[in-house]
Amino acid sequence: GAFDIVGNGLVSSLVLKLKTEVDEIQELILDTLAGCLCVEAFEALASGAVPILKEKLTHQSEAIRSKAARSLLGIRIILWHFMSLWKGRTLFGVLVSLLEDSDVEVRADAAGALMFATITTQGKYAAFNADAITPLLKLVSDESSKVRLNAIKSLTMLSETPEGRKVLLDHVDLFREHLNDPSEAVSRAAKIAIKVIEWKP
């Protein structure tokens, strides 16, 4: 599995093949990379995975856009390097635009990518400056529980900045609507979001 691929130093080869293979093979490569990046991200970073995956976020194929976003999640393992590569507003702008994608998996993965990208203060402000809050608020009521969950978690991260909290204080009722969400995970996330947004020092 992923451990064997990483152990044999094959990640860089997979990354490079994303540039040349047909769409069907790219999908398989992206699925494989997602697992590998959760095991170890250094080789992928060294082989230029982030710019390539970033490019795939705007691919015409919904499946490739979704899988590219999912693969990028694995890079959270080494946050300091992750943020040095993700600090540019361009990538955050692409992720924000994908929040309004017609495909539910793309929306879910874009919200998930933002959730991990906003773990650091730098990421929070990059997402805030890319106007991520407005589309994320729309996704809180998405038909997909996965989308709702990732959107709420992303907004919770953004509410940890004074600027984000100020905006989200006007939308607490939206989160209250999901305290009894059919999804238990969404319900818990909404409860935590309200607590963080209404927190006072």
Domains, the chain, with CATH or none: 2-83 (1.25.10), 91-198 (1.25.10.10)
DSSP single-letter state for residue 63: H
Tokens representing 63? Answer: 């499946």
What's the pLDDT score for residue 74? 66
What's the pLDDT score for residue 79? 47
96 contacts 53 by C-beta, under 8 angstroms: no
What's the pLDDT score for residue 123? 85
Rounded distance between C-alpha atoms, residue 141 and residue 149, angstroms: 10
Q: Residues of the chain with pLDDT > 90: what percent?
A: 54
What's the pLDDT score for residue 86? 52
37 contacts 77 by C-beta, under 8 angstroms: yes
| pTM confidence score | 0.65
What's the pLDDT score for residue 51? 85
Low-confidence ranges of the chain (pLDDT < 50): 77, 79, 82
Q: Please report where in the chains the tokens 């040349």 appear, as a residue.
A: 20
What's the pLDDT score for residue 166? 96
